[in-house]
Amino acid sequence: MSIPLPSRRALLITWLSLMGATIGAMGAGRVGQDVSLGPVWLTLLLALAGLKAGLVLWFYLNLHHSSPGWKKGFALFIFVILAFVWGAYLLTPTV
């Protein structure tokens, strides 16, 4: 079975999107500032992290050519990890 690889153009656009999401995550995470993020900024930061993970899985690991079960499984896995981080943040007392 031969699975087509993503084109160079698709990989380049994906890479540029990942770089943009990284810069956005740096802004949402307030890099270099000693402040608490708050739930709104953390939600944005985790959404960007989920987007980046999805792009890597979809294009670089060629997940878009796999079965629906694999796609749903990876999406659920990313969601569970991000929900765990979000929940842990909300349960952590602030000083």
In a domain, 23, yes or no: yes
Indicate whether 88 pLDDT > 70.
yes
**Total-model pTM:** 0.81
Give the type of residue at 23.
I
Chain segment 45-62, per-residue pLDDT in tens:
899 999 999 999 999 999
Q: Which of 65, 49, 76 is nearest to 10 (CA)?
A: 65
In a domain, 1, yes or no: no
Evaluated on CA atoms 33, 84, 87, 40, the torsion sign reads positive
Chain segment 1-52, per-residue pLDDT in tens:
688 888 999 999 999 999 999 998 888 777 777 777 778 888 888 999 999 9
Structural domain that includes position 81: 8-91
In a domain, 80, yes or no: yes
Under 8 Å between Cβ of 63 and 14: no
Distance, in Å, from the CA atom of 54 to the CA atom of 5, rounded to the nearest integer, reads: 17
In a domain, 51, yes or no: yes
**What secondary structure letter does DSSP report for 64?**
G
Distance, in Å, from the CA atom of 11 to the CA atom of 20, rounded to the nearest integer, reads: 14
In a domain, 58, yes or no: yes
* Number of structural domains found in the chain: 1
In a domain, 33, yes or no: yes
Neighbours of 45 (CB within 10 A): 22
In a domain, 3, yes or no: no
